[in-house]
């Protein structure tokens, strides 16, 4: 069962059915106990009346004056019976005719109440007790036919059950209406998904229920991340294509205008353009190795991810024998996308490795709600004029130029995406290039 509406409806149907059955059972039991107590109270009153009216003749046999006995005890098989047992004899109501009741043992210190079978299979509620009158033990029992009362209770329960079924149906209809109204925002989101897939809307509307809003916000955030990553990829491909344009143009000219047989100067130029193209390809492959693969939107531990990234850079620059000085607080986390983190640090560290003589230092600092990542090297650094040029917003450096170029532009885009600040300068400690990214943690 995958429908939320079906699940909610099924749960409510089961709950209402159990509640209705429980109400009928408990109500029936309560009504029966109430009726039984009511009849038993009346029988106890009759028992006290008979006790007050019983007399004994000179021979010790019990007697009851007719004027003190209720008329119900004279009507044959009326269900109202009494039976008095003493050592001197037994006295039964006229309504019993010639039938005797099978009395249970009656105690003198408590009232006995139970159901027995009487004449004509009547269901009788019996109330009895033993008394001591004039030094004689007298056991008195009175009964009443409980069948009419039970039939009345059953009839009442049928009416209550019918009303409960009507209420059950009304509640189900009301619940179905409320579930549909409650799930209407989800239905709206479902209708918006095809529009999102077709590109009619850039994101899903966030005016969703509180239970769904975090999912919509997270989905919109991932859509934004994927869109920004796609733009960065297009920009990188555009710059790569622009960087390849110059050596390919030179190679085309060499192919269209072949040199003379005794001209040996074109070999160095051909070799230079081929090496240039190879360098561009190796640089892109190196960036792909640095970025690796990951899940969009996954939050990461800096110490682990930076450690893996540095291991890759060590293998890439194994011929340089560089020393990496990592200063990362234990347990530091990056509240963003893993691919963004690797692309940002990969570009900054790659530039540092490219220019460093021996040492590359990476320092992470978390304070005042910000994450600061500082990358330094002991290379030649950049002149103030070059730094001012690199700070220009939106500047894209051609991939064919050596140095701090396209990688810093991509790093700047990532930092801007997180509303952070990227600072470029000279390292006061190592003397080379400094790049510092400050990202908000919230």
Mind listing the pLDDT tens digit for each residue in 369-391? 888 999 999 999 888 777 777 65
| pTM of the predicted structure, to 2 decimals | 0.45
- Residue 281 and residue 397 share a domain: yes
C-alpha distance from residue 277 to each of 246, 247, 259, 274, 399 (Å):
10, 7, 22, 5, 11
- Residue 233 and residue 137 share a domain: no
Q: Are 62 and 55 in contact (CB under 8 A)?
A: yes
- Residue 231 and residue 85 share a domain: no
Rounded CA-CA distance 274/254 in Å is: 12
Q: Would you state the pLDDT for residue 224?
A: 78
- Residue 388 and residue 249 share a domain: yes
- Residue 227 and residue 132 share a domain: no
Q: Would you state the pLDDT for residue 395?
A: 47
Domain count, the chain: 2
Q: Which of 151, 178, 201 is the last residue of a domain?
A: 151
How sure is the predictor about 406, in pLDDT bands with cuts at 50, 70 and 90?
Answer: low
Q: Which of 94, 125, 151 is the last residue of a domain?
A: 151
Could you tell me if residue 182 is inside a domain? no
Q: Are 80 and 95 in contact (CB under 8 A)?
A: yes
Q: Would you state the pLDDT for residue 231?
A: 74
Q: Would you state the pLDDT for residue 261?
A: 61
Q: Which of 151, 176, 206 is the last residue of a domain?
A: 151
Could you tell me if residue 174 is inside a domain? no
- Residue 108 and residue 229 share a domain: no
Q: Give the pLDDT confidence of 34-69 residue by residue, as tens digits.
A: 999 999 999 999 888 888 888 888 877 888 887 778
Could you tell me if residue 202 is inside a domain? no
Rounded CA-CA distance 90/255 in Å is: 140
Q: What is the CATH number of the domain that holds 92?
A: 3.30.450
- Residue 291 and residue 374 share a domain: yes
How sure is the predictor about 402, in pLDDT bands with cuts at 50, 70 and 90?
Answer: very low
362, pLDDT greater than 90: yes
163, pLDDT greater than 90: no
The region of weakest confidence among 34-48, 74-88, 118-132, 169-183 is: 169-183
333, pLDDT greater than 60: yes
- Residue 242 and residue 144 share a domain: no
Rounded CA-CA distance 305/342 in Å is: 8
128, pLDDT greater than 80: yes
User: What is the share, in percent, of the chain residues with pLDDT greater than 90?
Assistant: 17
Q: Give the pLDDT confidence of 198-219 residue by residue, as tens digits.
A: 777 878 877 777 777 888 887 8
Could you tell me if residue 157 is inside a domain? no
The per-residue DSSP string of 212-226 comes to: THHHHHHHHHHHHHH
Could you tell me if residue 176 is inside a domain? no
Q: Would you state the pLDDT for residue 397?
A: 41
The region of weakest confidence among 156-160, 272-276, 320-324, 395-399 is: 395-399
Rounded CA-CA distance 299/241 in Å is: 33
Q: 394 phi and psi, to 5 degrees?
A: 85, 5
Q: Are 215 and 222 in contact (CB under 8 A)?
A: no
Could you tell me if residue 185 is inside a domain? no
Q: Which residue has the higher pLDDT, 306 or 245?
A: 306
User: If you average pLDDT over every residue of the chain, what do you get?
Assistant: 80
Rounded CA-CA distance 135/235 in Å is: 118
- Residue 259 and residue 117 share a domain: no
Could you tell me if residue 134 is inside a domain? yes
How sure is the predictor about 19, in pLDDT bands with cuts at 50, 70 and 90?
Answer: confident
- Residue 381 and residue 274 share a domain: yes
| Domain containing residue 26 | 4-151
The rounded Cα 78 to chain-centroid distance in angstroms is 66
Q: Are 50 and 142 in contact (CB under 8 A)?
A: yes
Q: Would you state the pLDDT for residue 287?
A: 58
Q: Are 352 and 424 in contact (CB under 8 A)?
A: no
- Residue 259 and residue 114 share a domain: no
Could you tell me if residue 93 is inside a domain? yes
Q: What is the CATH number of the domain that holds 343?
A: 3.30.565.10
How sure is the predictor about 363, in pLDDT bands with cuts at 50, 70 and 90?
Answer: very high
Q: Give the pLDDT confidence of 284-296 residue by residue, as tens digits.
A: 665 555 555 545 4
- Residue 410 and residue 263 share a domain: yes
| Residue from 314, 344, 343, 348 nearest 434 by CA | 348
């Amino acid at each position: 069962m995958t429908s939320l509406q079906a699940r909610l409806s099924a749960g409510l149907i089961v709950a209402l059915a159990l509640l209705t059955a429980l109400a009928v059972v408990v109500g029936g039991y309560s009504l029966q106990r109430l009726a039984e107590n009511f009849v038993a109270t009346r029988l106890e009153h009759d028992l006290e009346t008979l006790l007050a009216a019983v007399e004994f003749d000179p021979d010790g046999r019990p007697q009851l004056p007719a004027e003190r006995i209720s008329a119900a005890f004279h009507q044959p098989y009326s269900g109202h019976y009494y039976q008095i047992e003493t050592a001197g004899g037994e006295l039964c109501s006229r309504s019993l005719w010639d039938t005797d009741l099978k009395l249970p043992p009656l105690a003198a210190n408590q009232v006995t109440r139970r159901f027995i079978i009487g004449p004509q299979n009547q269901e009788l509620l019996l109330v009895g007790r033993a008394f001591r009158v004039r030094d004689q033990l007298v056991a008195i029992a009175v009964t009443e036919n409980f069948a009419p009362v039970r039939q009345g209770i059953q009839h009442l329960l049928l009416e209550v059950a019918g009303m409960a079924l009507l209420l059950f149906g009304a509640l189900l209809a009301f619940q179905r209406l409320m579930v549909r109204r409650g799930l209407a925002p989800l239905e709206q989101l479902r209708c918006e998904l095809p529009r999102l897939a077709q590109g009619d809307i850039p994101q899903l509307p966030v005016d969703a229920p509180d239970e769904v809003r975090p999912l919509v916000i997270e989905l919109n955030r991932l859509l934004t991340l994927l869109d920004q990553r796609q733009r960065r990829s297009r920009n990188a491909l555009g710059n790569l294509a622009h960087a390849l344009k110059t050596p390919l143009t030179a190679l085309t000219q060499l192919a269209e205008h072949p040199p003379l047989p005794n001209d040996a100067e074109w070999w160095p130029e051909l070799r230079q353009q081929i090496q240039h193209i190879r360098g561009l390809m190796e640089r892109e492959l190196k960036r792909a190795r640095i970025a690796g693969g990951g899940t969009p939107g996954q939050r990461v531990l800096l110490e682990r991810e930076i450690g893996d990234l540095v291991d890759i850079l060590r293998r890439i620059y194994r011929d340089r024998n560089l020393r990496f000085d990592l200063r990362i607080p234990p347990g530091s986390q990056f509240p963003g996308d893993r691919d963004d983190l690797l692309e940002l640090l990969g570009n900054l560290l790659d530039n540092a490795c490219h220019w460093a003589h021996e040492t590359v230092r990476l320092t992470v600092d978390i304070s005042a709600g910000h994450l600061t990542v500082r990358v330094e090297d002991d290379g030649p650094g950049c002149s103030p004029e070059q730094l001012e040029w690199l700070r220009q917003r939106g500047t894209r450096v051609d991939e064919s130029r050596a140095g701090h170029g396209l990688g810093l532009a991509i790093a700047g885009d990532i930092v801007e995406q997180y509303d952070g600040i990227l600072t470029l300068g000279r390292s006061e400690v190592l003397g080379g290039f400094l790049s510092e990214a400050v990202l908000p943690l919230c």
